[in-house]
Amino acid sequence: GTTLRAAAAEKGRYFGAAVGTYKFNDSTYMSVLNREFNSLVAENEMKWDATEPSRGSFNYGSGDRIVSHARANGMSVRGHNLLWHAQQPGWAQGLSGSDLRNAAINHVTQVATHFRGQIHSWDVVNEAFADGGSGGRRDSNLQRTGNDWIEAAFRAARAADPNAKLCYNDYNTDGINAKSTGIYNMVRDFKSRGVPIDCVGFQSHLGTSISGDYQANLQRFADLGVDVQITELDVTQGGNQANIYATVTRSCLAVSRCAGITVWGVRDCDSWRGGDNALLFDCSGNKKSAYTAVLDTLNGG
Ligand code: G3I
């Protein structure tokens, strides 16, 4: 393949990018996006604060724009995300207990129902595990509604959109460590009890090195019977950027249940990481050496 999307498709994978609709009138951005990617995810537009700005009142305009652009250009859509401790609307931040639980589950049901049939994979729950060595849950208003909030969210999402793959998504899970093992144990428990979960997202916001067991970590999750996806890849620019991108790509290709890779933006200047120049295209839309490393790896070179 001569583009990321074509080369990935030849390997049975998707290659996606996070997008913001406020850039859809930037012709450089759109030409790179449409040429190189066959999966989109909203960087912000499908989050709780964007989709339910006041309780029970839903706003799907920007999310729908991403879905319709994807459909018109032969792209699938990842849904990001249904529940997260961050980017909650102010009204939800002020709730607790059963009131918050009911509002959260209603949010899952309403949003997943609205987009039913149009989302390849939903990040049902995002970033619910703590950093550091505990391997436990992150404290949040949602966690304080009871430890079963995650499975309740997955069951509601399955009921609302039975054909979407349902993912748990997190960061700092780029090797076998306490946090990834905590998530691993949750997925194993969900599979054993029949809680619906289909995939785990590994955000992969990476610095100047990558854990030597990155691939082994993906594989241990796949061995539980879930797909794995690289969901928010970006890598600090430095001597190793191209190599790290290649390692992530090679790892996904080596794990048969790795469905695809999403980078968290198109050009360096579109990135939340600003000065890290963490993406595959420079600010003018030119291909970087990291791009060539990914493409060559997808092509088996
Ligand atoms: O929309 C408002 C705008 O009205 C206002 O004028 C402006 C002023 O600051 O803020 C705008 O909202 C910003 C929003 O991005 C849209 O641009 C928020 O301040 C800003 O906090 C928000 O940042 C996003 C961040 O998630 C929020 O936590 C980033 O764009 C987005 O890349 C980032 O993405 C997350 C994933 O969802 C989860 N994993 C980590 C990843 C990186 O942090």
State yes or no: is 36 an active-site residue. Answer: no
- Tens-level pLDDT at each residue, the chain (301 residues): 999 999 999 999 999 999 999 999 999 999 999 999 999 999 999 999 999 999 999 999 999 999 999 999 999 999 999 999 999 999 999 999 999 999 999 999 999 999 999 999 999 999 999 999 999 999 999 999 999 999 999 999 999 999 999 999 999 999 999 999 999 999 999 999 999 999 999 999 999 999 999 999 999 999 999 999 999 999 999 889 999 999 999 999 999 999 999 999 999 999 999 899 999 999 999 999 999 999 999 999 6
Probe target for ligand 1 pocket from 40, 41, 44, 204, with the most ligand atoms within 8 Å of CB: 44
* DSSP structure string for the chain: --SHHHHHHHTT-EEEEEE-GGGTT-HHHHHHHHHH-SEEEESSTTSHHHH-SBTTB---HHHHHHHHHHHHTT-EEEEEEEEESSS--HHHHT--HHHHHHHHHHHHHHHHHHTTTT-SEEEEEES-B-SSS--SBPP-TTGGG-TTHHHHHHHHHHHH-TTSEEEEEESS-SSSSHHHHHHHHHHHHHHHHT----EEEE--EE-S---TTHHHHHHHHHTTT-EEEEEEEEE--STTHHHHHHHHHHHHHHSTTEEEEEES-SBGGGSTTGGG--SSB-TTSPBPHHHHHHHHHHTT-
Nearest to residue 264, comparing CAs of 70, 44, 48?
44
Distance 81 CA to ligand 1 centre (A): 13
Ligand 1 within 6 A of 87 CB? yes
CA-to-CA distance for 263 and 234, rounded, in angstroms? 6
Ligand 1 within 6 A of 53 CB? no
State yes or no: is 43 an active-site residue. Answer: no
Probe target for ligand 1 pocket from 43, 85, 235, 279, with the most ligand atoms within 8 Å of CB: 43
Give yes or no for a contact between 17 and 234, defined as CB atoms under 8 angstroms apart.
Answer: no
Put simply, whether the predicted model's pTM sits higher than 0.90 gets the answer yes
